Amino acid sequence: MKTKSNIKNWSKKLFWIVPLMFLGIFACREELASEEFELSELSVKTSEISELLPSMYNSKFNFSWTPANNHGTSSAISYKLEIDKKENNFSNPQSYDIGKNIYSHDIVISDLNTLLIDVYGANPGTDIAMQARVTATFADASVQSQSAVVDFTLKPFKPFTNTLYIVGDASPNGWDITKATALTKSTSNPAEFVYYGQLKAGNFKFATTQESCWCQDFYTKDANDETKMVYNVGGSGADLQWTVDNASLYRVTVNVLTLSIKIEQMNGPQFSDIWIVGDASPSGWDVDNPVALKQDTSNPFIFTLECSLKEGNFKFLTGTKGEWCGEWYRPLVDNQDLIATGVAQNSGCTVDNKWKVTAAAAGRYLITLNTANNTIKFEPINVYIIGDATPNGWNMGTLTPMQKNGSVYTWTGNLTAGSFKFTKFNTTWCDGTELVGVVADQSISNTSFQERVKCAGGDATDFKWKVTAAQAGNHTITLNLDTNTLSIQ
């Protein structure tokens, strides 16, 4: 009976103790929550960086803040970051809507540097006082928005140049800085620029603009390391240049962040542009607007030109147009005929050898210049009419050429019902250039034509003239390759 009495007593005590315990727990939780709300006031800070450096270009500057206090409402909180010059008092801020449950924001230092200079007028190398403000707004309208501000000071660096030009007697346009050749800016690395092209024997450096003043900014060679550059502001400092010993094709890669340069000689031709000049040529002696040779796409060392050569002289200009004493391809001796194959590449006006075209040799030629071994070939152009409408038939290899007088080709004979076209070769099919119609089964009254090179386009471009039975008979065909005209009478 004693045990039952104790149990009754404890039951009575628990009846009062348990509610008191719950009241205590709730009171503690309310007290803790109250303390948490008081401690969770909004504050903001920035990265501990005061000077921005070019080496930080791709690094990030951080803004971070503590959670705002929603006063126990469970309201969603959205944050906005604003940046402005301190003296503006946020009258001209850059704003970033951050969103919910995010407590930091990064700005790439290159973008921040641009912002300081372009928007807020900071001077590179000089401190500028800035402010950042974070504002918290609440989904529950009963909770007022909260803001926190932090002051910070930054010293920006001079931005990288967006343009870079190679200038010097080794470069395509020499020391004429107004015509300096632009490097290509990398799409993946804004600090990297590439020049891919011909360089001559000589020197070069890099300018940031094409302004005529030599007092602009330059990148020149480091005195202690040819793979490094020096940034000369306003043309100051030692004017050291890189030297090219062997004219050739080069790839030059420049990084204005690391101040490094890589110069690679490529396996390619020394020049990518070659022009014919001379009174025997279609250009005359015009070095400003000469006729260009065509660079072969499969072998860039090979340059070709089909043209008529008159009695007179000629040579080949390369490198840069308009320079009489520039770069040339010339024969080994003066007044060289069109049989010898040797070529010399040289510059200047001291040794000015030229090819000589006699009256007897005048005519239309296919010129092939090989810049890999400095050889040249002059092949007279013959034209052949071929097809079942002609006496030649389709018998490639045994064709009779049309009569030639300079650039004019003539054939007189019987055309039967059938088809025909013209070729400039008499070897095997698809071995050279054909002259074909512009539509299938073209009428002989339509004298328009086009080139078809080595069967390009297959059967789709193999257009022929069609001779009907009513049109069969004796005809005279005249083809002028200088004027690109055709007559069928």
Q: Which residues contact 397 (CB under 8 A, 6 or more apart)?
A: 426, 427, 428
**Among 319, 349, 380, which residue terminates a domain?**
380
pLDDT at position 40 is 56
Co-location of 52 and 148 in the same domain:
yes
Q: The tokens of 157 are what? A: 């660096």
> Are residue 371 and residue 404 in the same domain, yes or no?
no
> Which CATH number does the domain housing residue 397 bear?
2.60.40
359-390 per-position pLDDT tens digit: 999 999 999 999 888 899 999 999 999 999 99
Distance CA 147, CA 150 (A): 10
Residue 164: which of 231, 247, 76 has the closest Cα?
Answer: 231
pLDDT digits (tens, 9 = 90+) for 312-334: 999 999 988 998 988 899 999 99
Q: Give CB contacts under 8 A, 24+ apart, made by 80-85.
A: 80/134, 80/135, 80/137, 81/105, 81/132, 81/133, 81/134, 82/132, 82/133, 82/134, 82/135, 83/115, 83/130, 83/131, 83/132, 84/120, 84/130, 84/131, 84/133, 85/120, 85/128, 85/129, 85/130, 85/131
> Are residue 48 and residue 148 in the same domain, yes or no?
yes
Residue range 272-305, pLDDT digits in tens: 899 999 999 999 999 999 999 999 877 888 999 9
Domain termination residue (choose one: 321, 354, 380) = 380
Q: Which residue has the tokens 């306003």?
A: 234
Q: How confident is the model at residue 10 (pLDDT cuts 50, 70, 90)?
A: very low
Q: Do the domain assignments include residue 147?
A: yes
Task: Determine how many CB atoms are found less than 10 A away from the CB of residue 181.
Answer: 15
Predicted local distance difference test score (pLDDT) of residue 209: 93
**Same structural domain for residues 392 and 375?**
no
| Helix count and strand count (H, E) for the chain | 2, 37
d(CA 462, CA 394): 14
| Beta carbons of 237 and 256 less than 8 angstroms apart | no
| pLDDT at residue 68 is higher than 60 | yes
Across the range 99-121, mean pLDDT stands at: 93
Check which CATH number belongs to the domain holding 260 and give it.
2.60.40.3620
In a domain, 94, yes or no: yes
**Alpha-carbon span 478 to 466, nearest angstrom:** 17
| Last residue within a domain, chosen from 380, 400, 432 | 380
Rounded to an integer, the average pLDDT of 194-213 is 90
Strand pairing partners for 66? none
For residue 215, what pLDDT is reported? 87
- Say how many domains are in the chain: 4
Q: Are residues 437 and 394 in the same domain?
A: yes
Q: What is the pTM of this model?
A: 0.50
Q: Is it the case that residue 38 has pLDDT exceeding 80?
A: no
Residue 33 lies in a domain: no
Indicate if 323 and 359 belong to the same structural domain. Answer: yes
Residue type, 354: K
Check: CB of residue 185 under 8 Å from CB of residue 192.
yes
The amino acid present at 450, given as its one-letter code, is Q
Residues 68 and 117 in one domain: yes
Question: How many Å separate Cα 65 from the centre of its chain?
Answer: 43
The CA distance from 167 to 393, in Å, is: 60
| 332 is a domain residue | yes
For 317, list phi and psi in degrees, rounded to 5: -85, 145
Answer yes or no: do 478 and 446 share one domain.
Answer: yes
Position 187 scores a pLDDT of 65
| CATH number reported for the structural domain that contains residue 146 in this entry | 2.60.40.10
Q: Answer for the pair 84, 130: CB distance below 8 angstroms, yes or no.
A: yes
Cβ atoms 131, 150 nearer than 8 A: yes
- How would residue 346 be classed by pLDDT, with cut points 50, 70 and 90? confident
Looking at residues 433-446, what average pLDDT do you find?
94
Residue 37 forms part of a structural domain:
no
* pLDDT at residue 184, as a whole number: 84
pLDDT at 29 over 60: no
Residue range 26-47: mean pLDDT, rounded: 56
Q: Is residue 13 part of a domain?
A: no
Range of the domain at 217: 165-265
Q: What's the one-letter identity of residue 42?
A: L
Has residue 159 been placed in a domain?
A: no
